[in-house]
Chain A
Amino acid sequence: ELKVEQNPLFLSMQEGKNYTIYCNYSTTSDRLYWYRQDPGKSLESLFVLLSNGAVKQEGRLMASLDTKARLSTLHITAAVHDLSATYFCAVVLSNTGNQFYFGTGTSLTVIP
């Protein structure tokens, strides 16, 4: 059974600080996704990472993938209040095609 673990589950950070969210998964995957969910809203795609060493950046968020370590990170640089949301990673197993396995989510609160 594929397990996807995120940590931390809850993160409270001050504006201007940096932090990293971690996503570990238990078996080989050929792609990894990061999603954002605002309170009361649905999930919005942030990044798709397709290969070992892949790095994607958008604004203050940067995601990376290490397939050998089965680890992805979402790094937040100089956090601002607008980044407050829940962040999910999801992996797709190579042999199941389209089935996504989601992590538990990280609830981020950025404090002014």
Chain B
Amino acid sequence: DVKVTQSSRYLVKRTGEKVFLECVQDMDHENMFWYRQDPGLGLRLIYFSYDVKMKEKGDIPEGYSVSREKKERFSLILESASTNQTSMYLCASSVTGGPTYEQYFGPGTRLTVT
């Protein structure tokens, strides 16, 4: 089974802190994604990566950066956390191509910024 893990289930940080969210997948997937989930807004893509050291902006990249130094690991960085970044963050991974490729999701990190 594909396994996507995230470093924390719950995180509380103060405004202005630098925050790292880590995601690891064990299926050698090329693609990795970071989403945030807010009530009534569904999932919105922050950044994605289709290869090591490659990254692409999603729909809402402002205030975030990412790092992918190894194929299995994709980190989301909040350079200076703000209260409007309080949200559920979901990481996902997928292969490239194939007839029924899908995204596999991690358990999520609920981040609260106070």
Shortest distance between the CB of B60 and any CB in chain A (Å)? 13
Q: Which residues of A contact B107 (CB under 8 A)?
A: 41-42
Q: Is A104 interfacial (CB 8 A cutoff)?
A: yes
Count of A-B contacts judged by CB separation below 8 Å: 52
Q: Is A45 interfacial (CB 8 A cutoff)?
A: yes
- Interface-forming stretch among B35-43, B63-71, B73-81? B35-43
Residue tally, chain A, CB below 8 Å to B: 22
Measuring CB to CB, which residues of chain B are less than 8 angstroms from any residue of chain A? Answer: 31, 33, 35, 40-45, 48, 50, 58, 90, 92, 94, 96-97, 99-108
Lowest 4 A-B CB distances belong to which pairs? Answer: A102-B43, A104-B42, A42-B105, A43-B105
Measuring CB to CB, which residues of chain A are less than 8 angstroms from any residue of chain B? Answer: 4, 6, 9, 33, 41-45, 48, 50, 88, 90, 97-105
